[in-house]
Amino acid sequence: MQVHQLFNQKLLNKYNTSGPRYTSYPTAVEFSADFTQADFEFAVKQSGKQNLSLYLHIPFCHSLCYYCGCNKVITRHREKADIYLDHLIAEIHQQAPLFAGHSVKQIHLGGGTPSFLTKAQMSRLIDELKQAFVIEQNAQNKVEMSIEIDPREIELDYIDHLAAVGFNRLSIGVQDTDKKVQTAINRLQSTEFIASLVSRAKQFGISSVNLDLIYGLPHQNQATFAKTLNDILAMDIDRVSLFSYAHLPQRFAAQRKLKDEWLPNAQQKLDLMHQAMQSLTQAGFVMIGMDHFAKPDDELAIALKQGKLHRNFQGYTTHGNCDLLGLGVSSISAVGRSFSQNVKDLKTYYQAINEQGSALEKGFKLTQDDIIRGEVIRSLMCNLVVDKRKIEQTFAIKFDHYFADELKNLATFIKDNLITLDTNLISVNANACLFIRNIAMTFDAYMQKHLNQQRFSRVI
């Protein structure tokens, strides 16, 4: 399937609605304050899993990027991170004993800007994690440690320190290399320095480097974005994340600094997406789901080929057999038959940790129906196929009876030649990957009540 064959204008117009990204099912809009720390601890005991992924949220940024909708705190005072680490470490030591039977397979630092931390602060945090949890350290099965990097406020040797404390994957925020675009979004940075960071990472044995790009930003056009794509491909990276800019100034005050007339229109934005997909696939990258691209020998591409890809709150991953523990302000956990989220406000987070050792604010207890539907949706989102017989064997149901209404509702996708339905399989056709969220929504039992609300981003 050539990339241009994915861009059927009639279907793009028909299916470009709003919908979840399905990093979980049910999605976070279903979380409730009725879910308590006791519920969380019960979910841990009932989980049955022995492997654990850790997500740590570092909320600080040196400056405000106007496009950003993340949970963040803007400050240039690095000492504020010491106060945050005091509370984060207290949370770590409160939660870690609950997972005494788990082995940590994956650690990810997100934000905000995790590279806001100084070398000493980073060492302190990683040392505490190693003391609190059982972390895989043998050469054959080394823990995957990844971190998101802002290239503007670090020195080149920061990479040396990350490698020394155990990080083996980096994700660097590039977004765009054009200076006019960077000025508009308040994110001026050196492309040459980013290339140096990538080179340094390879030199120090960091096995995978991902670069983030955003299409739909102010002043982007096909000429400038072509240069951005050429710039990042010249760095010989392993993965690329390609995200759509969601302009929601009513929700994110900083986006009000971006004038509507600066933004590409809907068709121009679609052309930018098409252009990026074409360039990346021609350069040898494999398209992973909706928004990730990886070299063919990358473990994500291998997992996709083997039908073993997984999806969680950090996006696509190969660690589907892990509970996920989120630590820090606003972080989300997926443990056993539950989802939960910490408070989003920093002051409230500090108070909660000081008073009760936990900052859990809300969550969700999954029913058996949620788990069944979640497995179907994850299979669609990750591997573009549902094996009905496998679902039947796993959950002791008759698929066609259980999902009788949903199968009827797939008729529009069948008519548009987006899926193929037979006795054993629901297969997403190669030309339908841009519409995978639409297809997945068919199996979402909660979607009906959100149809007239702008709770989610545009699908394309």
**Which segments of 305-414 are extended strands (E)?**
310-312, 315-317, 322-327, 332-335, 338-342, 360-365, 385-387
Angle at 189 between CA 185 and CA 192, to 5 degrees: 145
Confidence bin at 5 (pLDDT 50/70/90): low
- DSSP codes joined into one string, 140-172: GGPPEEEEEE-TTS--TTHHHHHHHHT--EEEE
10's tokens = 């009639």
- Does residue 453 surpass a pLDDT of 80? no
Amino acid at 178: D
pLDDT score at 455:
55
Helix (H) or strand (E) holding 199: helix 191-203
Could you read off the pLDDT of 36-77 as tens digits, one per residue?
Answer: 999 999 999 999 899 999 999 999 999 999 999 888 899 999
The band of 459, judged by pLDDT with boundaries at 50, 70 and 90, is low
The full DSSP string for 262-306 is GS--HHHHHHHHHHHHHHHHHTTPEEETTTEEE-TTSHHHHHHHH
- Give the pLDDT band of residue 454 (cuts 50, 70, 90): low
Q: What is the pLDDT of residue 279?
A: 96
CA separation (Å) from 329 to 124, 135, 431?
A: 18, 23, 40
Q: How far apart are CA 69 and CA 11, in angstroms?
A: 29
Q: Please check the confidence at residue 121 and state whether its pLDDT lies above 70.
A: yes
The pLDDT value given to residue 1:
47
pLDDT of res. 19: 81
346: amino acid identity, one letter: L
| Integer Cα distance of 29 and 9 in angstroms | 31
| Phi then psi dihedrals of residue 108, to 5 deg | -130, 130
Instruction: Tell me how far the alpha carbon of residue 245 is from its chain's centroid.
Output: 15
Q: Is the peptide bond before 112 cis (omega within 30 degrees of 0)?
A: yes
Mean pLDDT of 177-194: 98
For the chain, the 3-state helix, strand and coil shares in percent, each to the nearest 5, are: 45, 20, 35
pTM: 0.92
Nearest in space to 459 (alpha carbons), one of 436, 442, 443: 436
User: By the 8 A CB rule, do 251 and 67 touch?
Assistant: no
Coil, strand or helix at 182: helix
Q: For residue range 268-287, list pLDDT tens digits in order.
A: 998 999 999 999 999 999 99
Distance between CA atoms of residues 323 and 417, nearest Å: 37
Structure tokens at 356: 């009760």
CB atoms within 10 A of CB 401: 9
The fraction of the chain above a pLDDT of 90, given in percent, is 78
Q: What would the pLDDT profile of 68-113 be if each residue is shown by its tens digit?
A: 988 889 999 989 999 999 999 999 999 999 999 899 999 999 999 9
Cα separation, 29 vs 27, in Å, equals 6
Q: In the prediction, which pLDDT does 21 show?
A: 85
Query: What pLDDT digit, counting tens, does each position of 360-411 carry?
Result: 999 999 999 999 999 999 999 998 999 999 999 999 999 999 999 999 999 9
User: Could you tell me if 276 and 213 are in contact, meaning their C-beta atoms sit under 8 angstroms apart?
Assistant: yes
Model pLDDT for residues 21-31, shown as the tens digit of each residue: 888 999 999 99
Residue with tokens 């070398």: 119
Give me the pLDDT at residue 141, please.
67
Helix, strand, or coil (residue 107): strand
Domain ranges of the chain: 1-26+368-460, 27-326
pLDDT at 314: 77
* Predicted confidence (pLDDT) at residue 456 exceeds the cutoff of 90: no
In this predicted structure, the answer to whether residue 433 has a pLDDT above a threshold of 90 is no
Q: Would you state the structure tokens that stand for residue 18, as one six-digit string?
A: 């709003």
CB burial string 196-210: b at 16+ within 10 A, e below: ebbebbbebebebbb
Tally the residues of the chain: 460
Average pLDDT, the chain: 92
Mean pLDDT computed over 294-298: 94
**CATH T-level assignment (fold) for domain 1-26+368-460:** Arc Repressor Mutant, subunit A (1.10.10)
**Ramachandran region, residue 329 (left: φ > 0; alpha: ψ -120 to 50; beta: rest):** beta
Six-digit token string for 31: 């979380």
Q: What is the CATH number of domain 27-326?
A: 3.80.30.20
Measured CA to CA, the distance from residue 243 to residue 459 in angstroms comes to 11
Mean pLDDT of 339-358: 97
